[in-house]
Structure formats: structure tokens, C-alpha cells
């Protein structure tokens, strides 16, 4: 009996953590990254016949990430392009190399009102992320994003008029706490866009739109407002998609203690939680949506 053919497959290395210190100036720069590598190509022989001749070891991928960081990382996206180019050169059987780079941001500690030259603490605002993809004999493409940007508003959010059935117990509300942790990805017009600037400016646009949307009827409603604000403010962005958990803050019942609770004390429920996902795109643009395949 012949072996069934392989379906689509890829392989790579996850969780490559590395940090690079730029000591070329008195004020040091510190870049902290997590790298994911995925190689797409013809690896049927490895799966079906146990023939590894086309397989670049994932340990080599790890070593490549460290070796190519040796001369510094002026641009995270530029570093990603160098990585995909190297993996295509090193692996003749690879059709496409994909590298995702997530930055853990740090900022200088302030001492006597001045930024210290070589001491850092974690920065707020989430983790910038970029995916660099290159097919053989093609130009690289880049998507940007932000992960883990926490945001909360204490008013200006409602949830009412929703579908109810015999299992619905959730009360309607015209004023609630709305909290989420923004994960967003966006596509751009090309690799020459200002990806470093976008990593700062796009999250600022997202959070400003979240704050300003005081007539929110739902997380879905605010998602569309945030996406529209990004497309309006950033002409190089062609689409943006969000993953937004609804981090519930439930008004606590203080009546057993003989107390009222006029919107002051909340139970913070970490689970279960709602998850809202959606994309906003320019006319004629199809956004990349991971659940499509």
C-alpha cells in the first residue's frame, strides 16, 4: 500500500530570545527580541521517507539569528530581511521564509531628572511585532503590529439591545467599565514604509480612538472606530486586524454588607472572557486573516 501524500507543511524554530547592546555611544541602546522562524517548501521526503537532506536544522536557525545580530540591529525590520534572505540562501528547497520578530521594549531609568546612560526598565504600551516574509525570487513583505497593549476606560461604554434566549442572564447596561488588551496586526504598502515609526504611532492612534469613543455600544463598535482611525491617520497602512479580549469588570454586590454600590467597586474576572476579532481594510484590499488558513 502506497503512503498517502503530504498536505501543506512547514517547520521552524520558536522562542528564540536574544538581546543586543549597542555600546558605540555613551548612551547605550538595548534591543530585546523574540524571534520565530518558519520555512515553507518541499519537505515531503523528510516526512514520507525519512530523508533529511533538504532540512536545515532548527538549531541552525537559532544560531543564524545570533550570528546575524553580531553587527548590531539598527532596524528590527532590516534584521528580519537579512534573516529571510539568509534562510533562502541556506535552504535550496525552501519556497518561502517567514520571520516574526517581537520586541520587548525597555526605557532608560530616570536619575535626577535625566535618562541614565545604561540602566533600563520595562516600558509600557505593549510589544511591537513585525512579520517579514519572502518568497524565492520575490521582494519581501512586511506586516507590523502591537501585542499586549492594556487599556481601560471607566465610563463611555455600554452594552444593551443584544440577542437573548432562555439561557441569557446578563443584564443590559448603559455605563460600564470596558477593558481589553489590544493585539493588532497591520499590512502596509511595502517594505520601505516607516515600520519603526508605525510601531509607536499606530498604537498611539489606537489608544486615542479607544479613549475618545464615548458612545461605544460594544467592543465590536469600538474595534471599527479604532481601525477606521488608523486607516485615516496612516496612509501607508492598507488593513488592520484586532484581537480584543473583553476583560470583564463586574459590579460587586455589597448588599450582604448593608452597602450600596453606585459604580465604585468591581470584581475583576480573569476568566471566562469574551474575545472579539475583526479587520478593517481599505476598499479593494483583502486583509490577512490567520484563521483563513
| C-alpha cell recorded at residue 202 | 499606530
Among residues 195, 213, 234, 248, the one annotated as catalytic is: 248
What is the CA angle 289-39-277, rounded to 5?
15
How many Å apart are CA 138 and CA 202, to the nearest integer?
Answer: 27
Residue 265 CA: distances (Å) to CA of 171, 244, 259: 17, 24, 11
Sign of the Cα pseudo-torsion (217, 218, 221, 226, in order): positive
Residue 131 bears catalytic tag: no
Among residues 28, 47, 58, 224, the one annotated as catalytic is: 58
CB-CB contact of 109 with 121 (8 Å):
yes
How many Å apart are CA 151 and CA 146, to the nearest integer?
Answer: 13
How many Å apart are CA 191 and CA 143, to the nearest integer?
Answer: 9
Residue found by looking up cell 546612560 in the block: 117
Give the three-class secondary structure for 150: strand
Residue 180 bears catalytic tag: no
Residue 248 bears catalytic tag: yes
Residue 206 CA: distances (Å) to CA of 151, 185, 198, 230, 290: 10, 12, 11, 7, 21
Measured from the Cβ of residue 183, the count of other Cβ atoms closer than 10 Å reads 19
Reading phi first (left if > 0) and then psi (alpha if -120 to 50, else beta), residue 170 is in beta
Active-site residue set: 13, 58, 248
Amino acid at each position: 500500500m502506497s503512503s498517502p501524500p503530504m498536505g501543506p507543511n512547514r517547520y521552524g524554530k520558536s522562542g528564540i530570545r536574544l538581546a543586543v547592546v549597542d555600546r558605540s555611544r555613551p548612551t547605550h541602546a538595548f534591543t530585546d527580541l523574540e524571534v520565530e522562524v518558519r520555512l515553507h517548501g518541499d519537505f515531503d521526503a523528510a516526512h514520507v521517507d525519512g530523508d533529511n537532506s533538504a532540512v536545515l536544522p532548527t538549531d541552525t536557525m537559532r544560531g543564524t539569528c545570533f550570528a546575524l545580530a553580531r553587527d548590531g540591529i539598527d532596524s528590527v525590520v532590516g534584521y528580519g530581511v537579512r534573516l529571510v534572505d539568509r534562510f533562502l540562501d541556506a535552504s535550496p528547497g525552501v519556497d518561502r521564509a517567514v520571520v516574526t520578530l517581537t520586541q520587548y521594549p525597555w526605557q532608560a531609568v530616570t536619575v535626577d531628572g535625566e535618562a541614565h546612560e545604561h540602566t533600563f526598565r520595562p516600558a509600557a504600551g505593549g510589544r511591537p511585532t513585525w512579520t517579514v516574509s519572502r518568497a524565492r525570487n520575490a521582494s519581501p513583505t512586511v506586516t507590523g503590529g502591537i501585542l499586549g497593549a492594556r487599556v481601560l476606560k471607566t465610563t463611555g461604554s455600554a452594552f444593551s439591545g443584544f440577542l437573548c434566549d432562555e439561557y441569557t442572564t446578563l443584564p443590559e447596561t448603559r455605563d460600564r467599565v470596558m477593558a481589553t488588551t489590544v493585539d493588532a496586526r497591520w499590512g502596509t504598502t511595502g517594505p520601505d514604509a516607516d515600520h519603526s515609526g508605525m510601531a509607536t504611532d499606530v498604537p498611539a492612534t489606537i489608544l486615542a480612538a479607544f479613549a475618545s469613543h464615548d458612545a461605544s455600544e460594544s467592543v465590536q463598535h469600538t474595534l471599527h472606530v479604532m481601525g477606521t482611525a488608523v486607516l485615516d491617520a496612516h496612509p501607508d497602512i492598507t488593513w488592520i486586524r484586532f484581537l480584543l479580549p473583553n476583560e470583564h469588570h463586574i459590579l460587586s454586590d455589597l448588599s450582604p454588607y448593608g452597602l450600596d454600590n453606585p459604580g465604585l467597586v468591581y470584581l475583576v474576572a480573569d476568566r471566562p472572557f469574551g474575545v472579539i476579532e475583526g479587520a478593517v481594510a481599505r476598499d479593494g484590499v483583502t486583509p490577512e486573516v490567520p484563521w483563513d488558513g
